[in-house]
A and B are shown apart, each in its own frame.
Chain A
C-alpha cells in the first residue's frame, strides 16, 4: 500500500529530527526542583535571585552583577567596607602605605587556604595580579592594575607585552608583599577592595578556561555546580579562615529571566532573597512583604549630564543650576519611582567616605521661581530647548519624562527625550560626541570614597567624562587629592572640589539609588552592603 510506504519515510524523518534535537537533553535527576519546591526541605540552603553570569568566573573578568554575586561569595577580598565607607580587614592583617603613598605593604592573615586545600600565600596574589594585568590574557578589569609600577611592560598601549611581571610587585615572605605604584595614590587600599585583587590558586594557570567554569577561591563558599542559565550552587567551605564564616549551609543562586518572575517566586516562598523588586511591584511590595521588605540606600547616583559641545558649548553654569532647581526631585522619587530613590543633595552618596550632607547649597531643591531667575541671569537655555538622551532598555523612560515635564512646567522651554534602543547605542553616541544636550549619567561605587564619584567622571582627562567637562581648577583639586599623603587630606581636597562642582555644574545630580529587596518566610537576618549586594553569609534559615 502506497500510504504505508510513505508512512515509513515519514517515520524515519521524524526519528532523525528527534535524534537531532534530543541529544542536548540531560534529564538525569530532578533534584533541583524537588529540593527547592517546599521551603524547608532544602536544609539550610538560601535561595537567592540571580542570572547567568556574562563572563567566565574569573575575578579579573567579572564586571557585572550576576557574576559579581558569585565572586563576592567564593572569593574573599583583602579588605571590605562598612556602611560609612570605612575599611576593615578581611584576608589581610594590615595594609600600610609609605610616607608619600607610593608603596604599600600588604600583610596577610595566616591560616587561609584555597578550596582545593592549598595555602594562600603572598605569591598567589602577585601571580594573579600579573596574570590579570597581562594584555595577552584579555581580562576586562586589567586597567585596575594600571597604578602599579611596570604596568606598561605587561599591558603596553600597542604591541605585545615586554615582560611577564610588573616590577612594582615584590614578595617579601609567605605572608607579605609590597606594591610599588608609579605615582602616589593616598587611597590605594580602597581600590584593593575591588574584585580583581583576589588571589588565584596554582591550579588556575594550568587551565584558565576550565577555572572560569569551576572557580576555586579563598572565600566562605565553594562552587558546587554551575547549571548554565538555571542555577549556581555554592556550599560552605569547611576550612574557611575568615571571621565571616557562613551561618547557613549554602546558597543557590537561581537564574531568572526577569525581576517580576523572581518576585512571584518570593511571595510564594519559592525563593528566599530578592535583590531588587521589579518596578511594577514597587507600589505593593511593602504591603506584600511587611517587615520582610528592605529599603536601603546603596552607593549609586543618577544624574543628567550636559555636554559642552554643539549648542551647549559655553553655557553659563547658572542656566544648569536653574534647570537643577526646576526638577521636583521629591515628587518624582515619591510618585514615579515609588520611593525607590532618595533625592540627591551631593555628588557622592551618603554611604561613601567624604559625603557632605547638603553640599548642594540648595541647588538641588525645587524652586521654579528661583529656577527661572537663574536661567535668565545665565542668558537662557540655548534655543529654548533641551534634549535628554536615555537608553530605552533600562526602565528610565518614566522618570526621564517626569524630569522633562517638571522642567517644562517651571521654565517653559521645550524638553524632549532622545531614546536610544539600548545602552550600547547610548554609549556610542556619548563616545562620539553626538549627544544633543544632556545624557543620562549613572555611577555605582567601585569603592566607597568620594573621589570615585568625581575624578573618574569630571576630570578633563577622565575617560568616562563624556560631557567633556573641562575645568582647570577642578582638575587641580582632584590632583591635589590624589597626591595627598593621607586619606583625610584626599577626602578634604575632594570635598573642596565638590563645592566647585556645584558652581560649575558638570552634571545635575538627581537621586541616590536604593536597594528594594526582600526575603521569604524561610529565612532571617537579611541585610545588604553599601554596594547593594546581599550579605549572604549572615542569612540564617528558619
Chain B
C-alpha cells in the first residue's frame, strides 16, 4: 500500500512537467504581447519595452524561459506578474481560499443531495418519486450553468431578496452558499442518476437477498451492503468531478462576483500573463492528481477485495 502511494506520487512528476510545458508553449503562441499591452492605445516606448523584457527574462528563447520557470518552481518561486509586479504565488493564495470554499461547499452538496436523491429514486425505481427525480435531474443537466446562475440570482437575490445578489466577501461561507448550489446543480444531477442506476441494479443482487435472508433489517442491508457496493462508480465520478468543479467555477465566479481562481485565470489570460496562467493551471493539475489518488485508494475502503501492492 505504502509502495503504491509512493509510486503514484512519483508518477505525478512527469505528468506535471508535461502539462506545464504544454500550457507554457500555448501561452507563448498566443498573439498579443503583455508588455506592449501596458501602453494600451498609445505607442510604446521601445527602449522601455526592451528594458522591461530584459528585467523579466522575456527576451530569452522560449525553452530557456521554460527552464527558468521550472527551476524557479522547484525552489517555490512561481514567477512575477508583468503588470502588477506581484509574485504569482501571492495572486494564487489570494484567490485560492474563495475557490476552495466554493468547491468544498458545492462538493458536499453534490455528494449529500445527489447520493440521497439517487438512493431514494433507486429504491423506488419505476415509481412516482423516481420519475419526478429523473425529470428534475434531466432538467438540471440540460440547462446551462449560467442560465441557472442568473435565474437563481434574479429570483433569490433581487426579486425575493432572500440573499444578496452578489458575493461581497468572497471568503464568507454563508454568502457562497447560493453560488455553490448553482455550481453543484449539474454534477448533482449526474450523481443522482448514477447512484439511482447502480442501486436499482444491485438491489436485486444475490448478496442483498442473502443479507435479508439472514435476518438483517432492511435499513442495515441497504446501508452496509447495497450502498457500499453501489457507490464505487459514484465515487469515481465524484473524484473527477471535484477537479472539474474546481476548474469549472469560472462561470459561477463570474456571475456572482467571486474573486477566486477562475477570475484570476480569466484576467491573466486576457492580459497574457503567462506565468499566472501556468501557475494556476499547475495548481489545478495538482488538485486533479491528488484527488484521483484519493479516489483510487477509496476503492479499497469500499470493496476490501480490491488490494494495492
Contacts and interface: CB of A to CB of B under 8 A. Distances in A.
A209 B87 CA distance: 11
Query: Which of A1, A33, A156, A267 has its CB near the most chain B CB atoms (within 10 A)?
Result: A33
Nearest to A443: B41
Contact of B84 (A55, A230, A393): A55
B84 A138 contact: no
A254 interface: yes
Contact of B290 (A5, A17, A140, A157): A17
A183 interface: no
A9 B85 CA distance: 41
A6 B93 CA distance: 32
Contact of B259 (A230, A268, A443, A464): A230
A41 interface: no
B304 A37 contact: no
Contact of B92 (A16, A24, A155, A463): A24
Interface of B: 1-2, 5, 31-34, 36-43, 45-48, 51-52, 55, 83-86, 90-97, 100-101, 153, 157-158, 161, 164-166, 168-172, 175, 253-259, 263-264, 267, 270-272, 286-287, 290-291, 293-294, 297-298, 300-302, 304, 307-308
A258 interface: yes
A112 interface: no
A21 interface: yes
A138 B272 contact: no
B47 A140 contact: no
A498 B173 CA distance: 58
A427 B96 CA distance: 33
5 contacts: A27-B171, A56-B85, A257-B257, A261-B257, A442-B41
Contacts of A25: 96-97, 100-101, 171
Interface string A1-35: 11101110110011011001111111100101100
A27 B97 contact: yes
B293 A229 contact: no
A243 interface: no
Instruction: Name the 10 nearest CB pairs between A and B, nearest first.
Output: A463-B43, A424-B32, A24-B93, A25-B97, A33-B169, A6-B300, A229-B259, A261-B257, A264-B165, A24-B96
B254 A10 contact: no
B52 A138 contact: yes
A424 B31 contact: yes
A158 interface: yes
B85 A230 contact: no
A431 B32 CA distance: 12
B95 A258 contact: no
Contacts of A21: 96, 100, 287
A20 B96 CA distance: 11
Contacts of B253: 257
A10 B301 contact: yes
A424 B293 CA distance: 41
A136 B34 CA distance: 19
B258 A6 contact: no
Contact of B94 (A13, A229, A443): A229
A99 interface: no
A155 B47 contact: yes
A194 interface: no
Nearest to A441: B41
A264 B294 CA distance: 40
Given A142-B48, A265-B166, A13 B97 contact: no
Contacts of B1: 5-6, 9
A225 to B, nearest CB: 13
A251 interface: no
A532 interface: no
Given A2-B307, A54-B271, A143-B45, A268 B301 contact: no
Contacts of B272: 424
B169 A32 contact: yes
Given A135-B47, A136-B51, A155-B48, 11 more contacts: A3-B301, A5-B1, A6-B1, A156-B47, A254-B168, A264-B158, A268-B165, A270-B164, A424-B34, A424-B36, A442-B41
A378 interface: no
Interface string A125-140: 0000000000110101
A17 B43 CA distance: 47
B48 A135 contact: yes
Nearest to A264: B165
Contacts of A16: 290
A13 B263 contact: no
A34 B207 CA distance: 55
Contacts of A2: 300, 304, 307
A266 B33 CA distance: 36
Given A10-B298, A53-B84, A464 B42 contact: yes
B94 A228 contact: yes
B158 A268 contact: yes
A255 interface: yes
Contacts of B291: 17
A212 interface: yes
Contact of A7 (B41, B255, B301): B301
Interface in A21-66: 21-27, 30, 32-33, 36-37, 52-56, 63-64
Contacts of A258: 254, 257
Contact of A142 (B45, B287, B304): B45
